[in-house]
Amino acid sequence: MTQATAQAHPNIALVKYWGKRDTALNLPATGSVSMTLDVFPTTTTVQVDASAAEDEFILNDVLRDGVPAERTRRFLDIVRAMAGTDARARVTSHNTVPSAAGLASSASGFAALAGAAAAAYGLDLDDRQLSRLARRGSGSAARSIFGGFALWHAGDDEESFAEPLAAPADLAMVVTIVDAGEKQVSSREAMRRTALTSPYYPAWVSSTEQSLAAAQEAFRDADVARIGRITETNALRMHAAIQGSDPSIRYLSPTSVAIFDRVEQLRAEGLTVFATADAGPNVVALCLAEEAPAVDAALAAFAETVIAHPGPGLRLVAEGEQ
Ligand code: PMV
């Protein structure tokens, strides 16, 4: 039996991935940009066991079945095909981010699984190959292979990987946990519904292509105000496209909207802060690291908050270390 353990952190997109060009290969309709956080890591061990009849997936000490187990098995099938074996595995994962609450647990989850499974099955993959592999589990996981800021390219299977982007400044994120419960509609289903039924989907894709080009330019110029404005607008455009689905999907709650308002006020008061939100009600405020305590103090009136800084990329964890 061979085993390996890997750890990865969630990431929050500044320019979002929402919609696929290819569902089987998880190829995004557009590229995206994110910051990997230094909080909420996922640590995953993969034990390859040639004598086992089935894969097992244990998440936070509970043996899982249904969709989570099926997604894990399908991901291991990809790794097995690459390694030329059909040996099954036990996957034991510890997630410290509230699962499926729109806090990107699938990004840290599949990045950690990609790292641990590749090592346990004896594959020697570089970061680019690991990013392509993680993408197959969950698109946003392609970006969690890297620490700090990352750009994930759209393109075909060979070309669609993430790579690091130089930090434009000393930035932080204040994560508000408006609701840590499981979301009603998964991002997978909501993306599909948006692409199929929202009249705003084509405009979302074309405007995101423009936002991506503008964001890359703003990163090169280290123009934080422009990066922030692109981040907030892109998030609200994504939510507008999602709300335009039939049946409609609303991820933002009244508290989320109040936090967007408060962030706008904080800007009027002179702070460099911008809001974003993934597929859930939890708003994340991007700000200058030195202003994070002030932003945190203001947003703590609405929900539990956590200050996050740019975190590390995927790493293998040595036995005995955690
Ligand atoms: O990787 P998925 O399938 O969980 O989708 C992530 C979608 C968003 O978090 C809303 C946006 C993004 O780019 O991370």
- Given a cut of 70, is residue 101 above it in pLDDT? no
Mean model confidence pLDDT for the chain: 95
When the candidates are 3.90.320.10, 2.40.50.140, 3.10.180.10, 3.30.230.10, the CATH number that belongs to 2-167 is: 3.30.230.10
For residues 199-227, give the mean pLDDT. 98
The CB of 140 under 6 Å from ligand 1? The reply is yes
- The CA-based dihedral angle spanning residues 265, 32, 67, 7, taken in that order and rounded to the nearest 10 degrees: -90
Count the helices and strands in the chain (H runs, E runs): 9, 16
Diameter over CA atoms, the chain: 63
pTM of the predicted model over 0.85: yes
The CB of 187 under 6 Å from ligand 1? The reply is yes
For residues 260-272, give the mean pLDDT. 98
What gap in Å lies between CA 289 and CA 15, rounded to an integer? 20
Can 2-167 and 171-308 be said to share one CATH topology? no
- In DSSP terms, which residues pair with 164 in a beta bridge? 150
For residues 298-304, give the mean pLDDT. 96
3-state secondary structure 20-70: EEECCCCEECCCEEEEEECCCCEEEEEEEECCCCCCEEEECCEECCHHHHH
**Centroid of ligand 1 to alpha carbon of 192 (angstroms):** 12
88 pLDDT tier (thresholds 50, 70, 90): very high
Return the best residue to mutate from 9, 16, 131, 140 for the ligand 1 pocket (most ligand atoms within 8 A of CB): 140
> Residue 305: helix, strand or coil by DSSP?
strand
Structural tokens at position 280: 């859930």
pLDDT digits (tens, 9 = 90+) for 103-158: 657 999 999 999 999 999 999 999 999 999 999 999 999 999 999 999 999 999 99
The CB of 99 under 6 Å from ligand 1? The reply is no
* Domain residue spans of the chain: 2-167, 171-308
- The predicted pLDDT at position 137 comes to 97
Percent of the chain with pLDDT over 70: 97
- The predicted pLDDT at position 184 comes to 81
- The predicted pLDDT at position 181 comes to 73
Superfamily of domain 171-308, CATH level 4? GHMP kinase, C-terminal domain (3.30.70.890)
What gap in Å lies between CA 248 and CA 182, rounded to an integer? 18
